[in-house]
């Protein structure tokens, strides 16, 4: 696909903020033809170092809460200020997705790129932990790293060059995710599908020279990429 909006985020300085396969390109594909109303208040859940939050604020005009567990909100605040986005446009929040510090029905939408697989693998997560913070009719857009077909009983050796079986347990196929989200009582499942973005988002990530990207190169250079994909999930709260 043509990443019309993401290309300008492909500078070395901005890409140094990514924590996995290019999340800006993933977000652009995830939000093609999205249904989030203009002016919405959006939670970027698992925002990492905030590049996807900047993308949501600048490219779509949303007011964004950049909610993340591992990153430093003060550092993210500095980054947002450097990008010309004040506290009226993006608010960094240290938050655990399992205990979100927001009011009920606070958000118009939740967007989650390369993080939902860390906290959303229980069938109860949506009903108990996430949907209470979303307005009725609000959307959840998720992009997760996936496996084309679950191979957890016989993991390919190429993948084990970079990841342990425990880490790979977070990477599942479309049937797995369909099974999880279809148990949700409070939201309608709009779609669960394989994304087009895969090779190019991996290529952007593997160019980075941080230790995690360098570690991931071993599996990908051995051909492990043929087992992997990205999966998009879209839900609408009833």
Ligand X SMILES: C[S@@+](CC[C@H](N)C(=O)[O-])C[C@H]1O[C@@H](n2cnc3c(N)ncnc32)[C@H](O)[C@@H]1O
Contact 153, 147 (CB under 8 A): no
CA distance 237 to 150: 28
Interacting residue with ligand X among 3, 6, 9, 20 (CB under 6 A) = 20
Write down the least CB distance from residue 33 to ligand X, Å: 21
77: its two tokens: 């605040």
Q: What residue number has its CB nearest to ligand X?
A: 48
Segment contacting ligand X by CB under 6 A, of 14-22, 84-92, 129-137, 226-234: 14-22
The binding track of 109-148 with respect to ligand X, each residue x by CB under 6 A or -, is: ----xxx--xx-----------------------------
Interacting residue with ligand X among 36, 43, 48, 195 (CB under 6 A) = 48
Interacting residue with ligand X among 7, 81, 82, 96 (CB under 6 A) = 96
Closest to ligand X by CB, 23 vs 146, is 23
Interacting residue with ligand X among 32, 39, 70, 179 (CB under 6 A) = 70
Contact 225, 207 (CB under 8 A): no
* CA distances for 182 relative to 70, 225, 231, angstroms: 29, 28, 15
Q: Considering the rule CB under 6 A, would residue 71 count as an interface residue with ligand X? A: yes
Grouping H, G, I as helix, E, B as strand and the rest as coil, residue 26 is helix
Residue 163 pairs with which residues in a beta bridge? none
CA distance 88 to 141: 23
Select from 116, 104, 120 the least CA-distant residue to 27. 116
DSSP state of 207: T
Q: Which residues bind ligand X (CB under 6 A)?
A: 18-20, 23, 46-48, 52, 68-71, 95-98, 113-115, 118-119
């Amino acid at each position: 696909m043509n990443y019309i909006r993401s290309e300008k985020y492909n500078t070395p300085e901005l890409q140094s903020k990514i924590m996995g396969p290019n999340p800006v390109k993933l977000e652009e594909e995830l939000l093609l033809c999205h249904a989030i109303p203009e002016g919405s208040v959006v939670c970027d859940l698992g925002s990492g170092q905030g590049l996807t939050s900047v993308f949501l604020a600048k490219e779509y005009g949303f007011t964004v809460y950049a909610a993340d567990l591992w990153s430093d909100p003060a550092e993210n605040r500095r980054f947002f200020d450097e990008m010309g986005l004040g506290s009226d446009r993006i608010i960094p929040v240290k938050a655990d997705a399992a205990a979100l510090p927001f009011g009920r029905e606070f958000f118009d939408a939740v967007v989650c790129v390369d993080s939902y697989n860390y906290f959303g693998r229980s069938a109860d997560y949506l009903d108990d932990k996430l949907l209470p913070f979303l307005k009725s009719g609000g959307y959840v857009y998720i992009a997760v790293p996936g496996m084309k077909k679950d191979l957890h009983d016989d993991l390919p050796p190429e993948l084990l060059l970079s990841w342990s079986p425990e880490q790979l347990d977070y990477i599942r196929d479309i049937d797995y995710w369909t099974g999880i989200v279809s148990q949700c009582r409070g939201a309608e499942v709009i779609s669960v599908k394989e994304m087009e973005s895969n090779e190019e988002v991996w290529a952007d990530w593997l160019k980075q020279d941080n230790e995690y990207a360098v570690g991931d190169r071993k599996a990908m250079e051995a051909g492990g990429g043929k087992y992997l994909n990205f999966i998009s999930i879209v839900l609408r709260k009833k």
